Structure 1
Amino acid sequence: MQMIEHLALLTYWDAVAAAFLICAYFLLGWMIEHPPKSRPSVTKIMSENRREWLRVFVTRDPRIFDSQIMGSLRQGTAFFASTCIFAIGGVFALIANTDPLRGVAAEISTEDIPIVVWQVKLGLVALMLSNGFLKFVWANRIFGYCSVMMAAVPNDPDHPEALPRALQAAELNIRAAINFNRGLRSMYFALGGLAWLIGSAPFLGATAAVIWLIWSREFASLPRDILLGKYP
């Protein structure tokens, strides 16, 4: 009963800001993964490049270069998954130990806000980090599937199964990359969620900044122009 009373201290704008972050994560992800043909995202452009990579892979001999790329991709997902684990552990340690939270509350606000409110706010950060961890782990596993499928491609480029298997590997590679990008977006939004500790207005502002950052990198960045052949 007391916890419900404490949670009632969260304002209408707190609820709006939290809903805004969650909706933005899903809607922005959908826009990136399903962009209009007239304005493809970096993710969509790279998906086509991944298919082209695996088409070239069929005729490449030897294929050591490709195995090195796959190893690098898996190392990247493993690194970010480990980073998420450490971050989640730190957030949960802060949630479990209320003494540091009291110090944070005293520094940030002059109001006597119950610890449970700070724990709820940090819980949203932990939720986004956990989602990122699961995406990275799944991406790592799919990259593993892709590696096995690439190994199953016959060395003879004229073999009837060579190109079909390579294209299957390409689709697995794309799915792994999509999940990797989802994990990165979760980490970005988790950082934005930390602003909720200051208040709902900074939280909304930080979420908007994260949206702009991700959108600009996908739709208005220099790497995107380079990928489209628009050199500076």
Structure 2
Amino acid sequence: MMTTADYIALCFFALTWFGYARLLRSASLFGRTSLTHAMIERRREWIYNSLRRDLKMIDTQIMAGLQNGTAFFASTSIFAIGSCFALLGAADKVDAVLADVPLVLQSGRVGFEMKVGGLAVLFGYAFFKFGWSYRLFNYCTILFGAIPMMRDCENDVLAAERAAERVIRMNIIAGGHFNEGLRAIFLSIGYLGWFINPYVFMVTTTIVIVVLARRQFFSEARLAIMDRDPSSNLHLSPIPRTRPSADGNDSHGGL
């Protein structure tokens, strides 16, 4: 059966998850803007940039990519839930295998089924987040289709900006639900430590949270999208200009 250490580890998991989510809502850590909030500004730039062009095939492709990625993770969550139910049907075999693994604390069939049930709940939560995110991205596509053409934008700038803001808000909300579902998938990796023992569970949860926090506040991906002075990129080589070749064609300097 479940021990006191198991309940402490489960509470630690829930509090760590809740605390990390609250940390991301605060937008910054030690004065550093999170990757998620930096991407919100890039979303805004993208939508406002679309107001300056009539041909929006690029934008619709981006929207389709966001929806396809969300649908992929929603399908993956469904398969993971089915795997959890299959694991419940083979509880005796899995328990016999884990009995020979070092450091594994046996919690009995009931304890094992509770752990698998908790894992299924995690994947179920992720599925609902991905499913709702997919629906919101669909709404976002419809709102994007209501953005006026360039000439109409020039005639009524305020109406164009209101239409753009609706798309931006819906896109941000959809992206937020997608991130929450993805966070549940990542934390399910830490949850697997519980099948060994509650102490490993707390260690693996801490490792996952540290990795996620590093990616949000200290990663190269965050630096890549932050506003920086172009003069600081002096290590980049300039793109060679085209020059006429001997036969009169354009040469790209070997590129």
TM-score (norm 1): 0.90
Q: Structure 2: which 5+ runs fail to align?
A: 236-255
Q: CA RMSD in A?
A: 1.8
Secondary structure (helix, strand or coil) at the match of 1:161 reads helix
The residue aligned with 2:213 is 215
Residues 9-18 or 147-156, more deviating: 9-18
The residue aligned with 1:32 is 24
Distance change >3 Å, CA 111–CA 195, structure 1 → 2: closer
Distance change >3 Å, CA 107–CA 229, structure 1 → 2: farther
Q: Computing the radius of gyration over CA atoms, which structure comes out larger, 1 or 2? A: 2
Q: CA contact under 8 A between 1:41 and 1:219: conserved in structure 2?
A: yes
Q: CA contact under 8 A between 2:40 and 2:172: conserved in structure 1?
A: yes
Q: CA contact under 8 A between 2:2 and 2:111: conserved in structure 1?
A: yes
Q: Which is helix-richer, 1 or 2?
A: 1
The residue aligned with 2:74 is 81
The letter of the residue matching 1:167 is E
Cα distance in 1, alignment partners of residues 105 and 137 from structure 2: 49
What does 1:1-232 align with in structure 2 at a 5 Å threshold?
9-36=1-28, 38-108=31-101, 113-155=107-149, 156-158=152-154, 159=156, 160-229=158-227
Alignment size in residue pairs: 224
Cα distance in 2, alignment partners of residues 183 and 65 from structure 1: 26
Q: CA contact under 8 A between 2:105 and 2:197: conserved in structure 1?
A: no
Cα distance in 2, alignment partners of residues 210 and 161 from structure 1: 44
Q: Structure 1: which 5+ runs fail to align?
A: 1-8
TM-score (norm 2): 0.82
Q: CA contact under 8 A between 2:105 and 2:196: conserved in structure 1?
A: no
Secondary structure (helix, strand or coil) at the match of 1:108 reads coil
The letter of the residue matching 2:129 is K
Residues 76-85 or 119-128, more deviating: 119-128
Distance change >3 Å, CA 39–CA 82, structure 1 → 2: same
Q: CA contact under 8 A between 1:153 and 1:161: conserved in structure 2?
A: no
Shift of 1:112: 5.7
Q: Any idea what the Cα deviations from partners look like across 1:112-142, whole Å, max 9, x if unmatched?
A: 6421111111222111111111111111111
The letter of the residue matching 1:43 is T
Distance change >3 Å, CA 194–CA 67, structure 1 → 2: same
